[in-house]
Every structure is written in C-alpha cells, then in structure tokens.
Amino acid sequence: MSSSHLYPPPEAAVKNAYVSGIEAYNKLCAEAEADYEGFWARQARDLLSWKTPFTKVLDESGAPFFKWFEDGTLNVSYNCLDRNVERGLGDKTAIIFEADDGKVTKVSYKQLLEQTCRLANALKARGIKKGDRVVIYMSMSVEGVVAMQACARIGATHSVVFGGFSAQSLRDRIEDAGAVAVITADEQLRGGKQLPLKAIVDEALALGGCDKIKNVIVYKRTGGNIAWTAGRDEWLHEAVAGQSATCEPEWVGAEHPLFLLYTSGSTGKPKGVQHSTGGYLLHAALSTKWTFDLKPDDIFWCTADIGWVTGHTYISYGPLALGGTEIVFEGVPTYPDAGRFWKMIQDHKVTIFYTAPTAIRSLIKAAEANAAVHPKSYDLKSLRILGSVGEPINPAAWEWYHQHVGGGRCPIVDTFWQTETGGHMITPLPGATTLVPGSCTLPFPGIMAAVVDETGKEVPWGQGGILVVKRPWPSMIRTIWGDPERFKKSYYPDDFKGKYYLAGDGAIRDEKTGYFTITGRIDDVLNVSGHRMGTMEIESALVSCTDLVAEAAVVGRPDETTGEAVCAFVVLKRPRPTGDEAKRIAKELRDWVGKEIGPIAKPDKIQFVSGLPKTRSGKIMRRILRKIAEGETSNLGDTTTLLDPGVVDEIKNGKL
C-alpha cells in the first residue's frame, strides 16, 4: 500500500468528530472486545428513548435466532419524531423535498409528526393493527417516509417495494408477506416522465393470491388517469381528512418486526428479510452518528430510494432519530441534465452526500463529455463528508469523487453493509480512519468481522477468503419471513457450525493494515448498479417465456458503469436464430424480463446457444460462462467433467 494512495483524515474532520482520531476508534473496539454486551447496552441507553428499559441485552440461547434488548419496549416513530419535538426541535426542518421538476418543499419535525399521526389514525380506523403487514409501493416522497413512520407508530410491519418492480414481483411480495393493505400513488415522476404505480398495483392484485388486501390507499401525485375499485381504493388525502393530529404510539417489544424487505437470493424466490425494532433503530442511529458524523446543523443527503435498505436506514430512520435535516429527492441524477446532483448540493448547501458508485461513474462520463455539467461548474464548498454505498467503489472513481466533488478535502466513507445487516458493517469513520481508495477499511466499532476459509478457519491477512461476522449484532436480520430454515441455511450454514454469519461476499485483508477489500459475491447473486439480483430469478423469468425458451443460464460480467452487467445464454425451442431475427427475439426476451421482474433485471446481452455447458450430473458450469462473458476464451479451467465439451467451443465462437 503505497503512501501516495493514503489519505489521512483532514485536521478539520478530526477536530470535531464524534470519533476523533484512530485512538478513539481503537478504544471503542477494545471496549466492545472486553465487554460486548456492555458496549451495546451503553449505546442503546444513550441513543434511544425506551418506554420500558431493557434488563436483558443479548439472548443467544436460540442461536442463530438471536434476541437483543427483548424485554425493553419502545416505538420507532416516537424516537424519530415526538422526542425531537419534545427537545424543542419542532420547528426545525426534518425534510427538504425536491421534486422531479425542481419544486422544493420543507417539512418541519412538528409537521412530519402531525402527518404521521393523521395517517396512523387513518390506518387504525381501517382496522389495521399491531402485527399486520402493509406494503408500501411509492416513489421518493415525503408521503413515502410518512407511510413508513405511520406503520411503525401503530406497530404494523411495513414492507416497501421499490417503485421500479413489476406487477409480478409486487404480487409475490404482497402474497409472501400476507399484507392487508397497500399504500401507493397514482403515478410517479422520474426524469420528466409520468410512470404508473397504481396501475401496477391493480395488475398485481389481479394476478391472484393477494386476497388479504382490504385497502389500497392512493397518494395523488400527478392526477393521472387511473382505474378505481370502489370499497377497496381510497385517496390518501381523503383518508387522513378529519383525522386527529395526535396518535399515541404503540409501544412494542424491541424484537417486534419493524419491517420486511425483500432481497434476491441465489434461488428464484425473493427472501423477506425481517428486521427488529430496537436493535435495528439503534444501529441506524449509531452508524448515522459515527459514520457520517451527523451534527445538528448538517444538511444530509442520501440519494437512495426508500425501496432499498439504504433508504430505510439512512433516510427514513437514522437521520430522523438524531434530529437531523435531510434531503429527499424524487428525480434522477441526469434530469434535466447530468449536473442535477451538483446543482442540488449547491442550492441546498449539502454538507454530507451519500450515493452509489454507479451514479458516480455515469456522472464522470457525462462530466468529461460536457464541462457545463462537471462538478467544477458548481459551488460545492458546503460539502464536508462524502459517502459511497451499494457496491465496492473502484479506485479511479474514488479519486475522481474525492478530487472533483469533495475538492480533495472531504473524507469518503466507503460503506460495506447489506439488506440483512441493517446498517454499516465495515466503513471508515471520517475523523479517525486513514483512507485507501477501493477499500472499505475497518469494521464499525462492535462489529466482529473476519475473513475465513471454507471450514471457518481465519485466513492470514493478505489471503482472500469468505467474509463472516463472528458475533451477533443488534441490527442483524432476525429471520427470513415464514422460512426459518432458509434463514439458517443462507446465513448460518453448517460449514461454520452455525456460529458465523455468512455475508455471501469474498474479502481480503491488507497484510500490513488489516484493511478489508470486498472482492465480490461468492454465490449466484449479481450486483447491478448496487441492486442485488439472483441469477436464478432472471433465469426463471426467461424460462417462464414458455413458447420460446427451453433453458437459460445467467451470469454477470464486469461493467464500467453499472459494476456488473447481466448476460444471458439462452437455448430456444426452435433453431438458433441469426441476424435481425436474433435481435428481434432478444428484444422480446429482454422486454419480457423487464415485465416479470423490473427494468433493472433486463439482460444487457443475450446469446442464443444450442446447449449449455453441463456436468454429467446436470449442473450448469456457470464458471465457464462467466469467463466467456468476460471475453476470456483460452483459460477456461477443467472442462473434462462436462457432458458435452463441444458446447463450449460453440459458445466461444458465438461471441456474446
């Protein structure tokens, strides 16, 4: 690790940081090491307001189904809203909302609390109660955050589905969660276009299996033309009209499920990741405080969507639990032009900016092609901390981000975590950590991360292996909704005697510093623009096009903008097409996948083949396909176990 690529924390960052200097970081880690439960209990008492204080910290008796603070009661919405009003922050701006067209609305903590209470009362009036599941299918909006807070307020478990998912994906999640209501909008605005939401909800419910749904509450965003089912559908503004602006929070046990969030696994069926109330909120607040060093006068902007976990932890919950001011943005980074992010940072005097490498890479391209949208054309002096999330950031993009957006003065917190972890696991702290481009550096204090081999034995620093977490932590996944066996198999496999949490990523630690670098997934999960998708899910969608497709195999290949691109090898039920016909069928299949899963899953490339490389036992050797997709044709490793090695030559010559 050459010193030219080391970035010590700037003096200004060290001076005022909550965790100031590497000694302070080491001290916190040593405290957690010496008294693990005591460390987390102290944070939970310091940061959260409890209705009933907890006496038990961690219960490991039912491992891997761990419980944290289980005899304590609290309410997430109270912790995010009421207590800030009680602290005298009622008039402080909680959310600065910028719409797609640039219109700005500011909402204070008092207003946010009132909106949340009105919707909570409306939900209660419709018989929705503690323990019920509510699906939220909305775009980025104040109403989206309010919907989440209102569910939390009454103890209903929310499941937010990203507004880009298809009717089929939405239906599957409604059915799996057993939801009783959907909160949605007529349409969403993205990049100047009106895109359907309510129509997709209607289509999802018409597919069947969603018979528990009694209410569909619709936020009027565009006034677009939508179908209406009397007795089921209701406008949000009508539902909250006349409701009281106060609502006593439902005090729930710390282990009560706050939300389910579905993520792609390596099998086709999405996994409902279940998160708790107390442990989750603790880590959301603590990581916002330490990783972003959030101060009372900061303007914090996380660009994620509330449909992903990043939008949950670092929009809907973490910053609000600390009484912060944050930006919620409806639009896309390239509309009306690719300077939108930089203009917003300039206009709102953003101090902390958290985005994904994919966005950075696409904006680099745009800035290099057009000086008018280059960050240097904007005043970004307000920035003090930058963050990166969703996938590892490549060193070149890191350097550009540091130099051109942060003016060489802002630490970059390159955060590694997952839907399942609830908050940051490995990340620099801006006032403590010396940065290395491309490395997420060191574990968050209290997180016991390690790199092991297949048997669970730690490997020496400098050697690659499998990333695990050796101790349970407060914001970890509790189970997979309705499928505890799958939870155990996926995250606490027998290979590690059920003791270590398996992150599903490979990692390596620097020989000298012990810094972590994530090397990519170890299972069949792709990371496209920071969104996880199981290869199996895309394969199942292709094969469900039964008239055409006999078989399909999907792999990822590196892509300089999206991180990974989806490549599909498809065997048709008819002779292999060529030329225009191949293009036509490929387009048809791409559109089909978009309809089945959502546009993000559309294969970048489709290659038609007469057969797939299979072992004698019938297993597809994706390793070979991965190499071919990457353009590697000579060094394909051992192919002797293949049923028909000739297939490989045909695929090689067919060029993806």
The 3-class secondary structure across 237-305, one letter per residue, is: HHHHCCCCCCCCCCCEECCCCCEEEEECCCCCCCEEEEECCHHHHHHHHHHHHHHCCCCCCCEEEECCC
C-alpha 316/C-alpha 403 separation (Å) is 30
Confirm if 426 and 444 have CB atoms less than 8 A apart. Answer: yes
What was the pLDDT predicted at 2?
40
Average pLDDT value for residue range 114-143: 98
C-alpha 310/C-alpha 410 separation (Å) is 21
Residues 487-534 pLDDT 10s: 999 999 988 888 999 998 889 999 999 999 998 777 777 888 877 777
As given in the structure block, the two tokens for residue 479 are: 């189970």
The DSSP annotation for 360-402 comes to HHHHHHHHHH-GGGSGGGS--TT--EEEE-SSPPPHHHHHHII
Confirm if 185 and 218 have CB atoms less than 8 A apart. Answer: yes
As given in the structure block, the two tokens for residue 289 are: 């405080």
Region of 193 (left: φ > 0; alpha: ψ -120 to 50; beta: rest) is beta
Burial 133-167 (b: 16+ CB within 10 A, else e): bbbbbbbbbbbbbbbbbbbbbbbbbbbbbbbbbbb
Higher pLDDT, residue 23 or 616 = 23
Is the model's pLDDT at 596 over the cut of 90? no
Higher pLDDT, residue 647 or 299 = 299
Average pLDDT value for residue range 245-257: 98
Residues 32-62 pLDDT 10s: 999 999 999 999 999 999 999 999 999 999 9
Confirm if 254 and 279 have CB atoms less than 8 A apart. Answer: yes
C-alpha 216/C-alpha 163 separation (Å) is 15
φ, ψ for residue 492, nearest 5 deg: -130, 60
As given in the structure block, the two tokens for residue 11 are: 């003096």
What was the pLDDT predicted at 267?
57
Is the model's pLDDT at 561 over the cut of 70? yes
Q: Identify the weakest region by mean pLDDT among 4-8, 55-59, 412-416, 628-632.
A: 4-8
What percent of the chain is modeled with pLDDT above 90? 76
What was the pLDDT predicted at 1?
40
What was the pLDDT predicted at 594?
92
Average pLDDT value for residue range 592-619: 85
As given in the structure block, the two tokens for residue 568 are: 């599909």
Is the model's pLDDT at 244 over the cut of 70? yes
Type and span of the H or E element at 169? helix 167-177
Higher pLDDT, residue 427 or 622 = 427
φ, ψ for residue 95, nearest 5 deg: -130, 130
Quote the radius of gyration of the chain (alpha carbons, Å). 24
User: What does the CA dihedral 244, 246, 250, 251 come to, rounded to 10 degrees?
Assistant: -170
Residues 391-430 pLDDT 10s: 888 888 999 999 999 999 999 999 999 999 999 999 999 9
As given in the structure block, the two tokens for residue 50 are: 């409890």
Average pLDDT value for residue range 541-567: 87
What was the pLDDT predicted at 622?
79
Residues 448-497 pLDDT 10s: 999 998 889 999 999 888 999 999 999 999 999 999 999 999 999 988 88
Confirm if 284 and 321 have CB atoms less than 8 A apart. Answer: yes
φ, ψ for residue 114, nearest 5 deg: -65, -45
What was the pLDDT predicted at 3?
41
Confirm if 605 and 553 have CB atoms less than 8 A apart. Answer: no
Mean per-residue pLDDT of the chain: 93
Instruction: Give the global pTM.
Output: 0.87
Considering only CA atoms, which of 343, 342, 359, 430 is closest in space to residue 397?
A: 359
Question: What is the C-alpha end-to-end distance of the chain, expressed in Å?
Answer: 37
